[in-house]
Amino acid sequence: MAVTNKPYTLIKFGDPLLRQACQRVTFPLSEETDFTIDQCINTLRHVQGFWEKRSMSIAAPQVGKLLRLFVMCDQRYWYHPKLQYKKFMTVINPEIIEASDEKCLAWEACVSENDRIALVERPKVVKVRFQSVKGVEHDLLCHGLLSRIFQHEIDHFEGKIMEDHAKKYQSTKELEDEVSFEKFRKANKDYIIEF
């Protein structure tokens, strides 16, 4: 699949498309599905505003396609200064097959919402089942940020957004300068999942 340089327009909160359920992806992948994956990667690379170079994942509905797939920065490269936005993992038809009773309250963000983050409670650990681009099925036990990413993106496939779970909000404008961000980070250290 050749990656183009043209991102889709990012669908923002308030657009009714983000409230629609998505359809399962069929195999073998169609050209349109390949193109959607390509555009998710490019859009994630080119996110503007507060989330530029801070976003870890994007779901197909956020680029206008009602398909159950998302793309995330490959977790093997989350700490790499040059490869974070060059290596990606495509997750197709994911579902949560087990969730821990223990919950985790943490600040969560979405590339479709530039203006604020939300304090969201979710299961701390989930076991997910998904398919690769070749249709191979995988089961994965997810902790920490990976657990949060899977749950957040699976919500998008059901027409849910982080606001549906929010306990509290924080304006991103108030976090733009380093001093304000560090103050927020220290005050909320128990609610921030580091990667």
Residues catalogued as catalytic: 153
Structure tokens at 105: 């309250």
Measured from the Cβ of residue 101, the count of other Cβ atoms closer than 10 Å reads 7
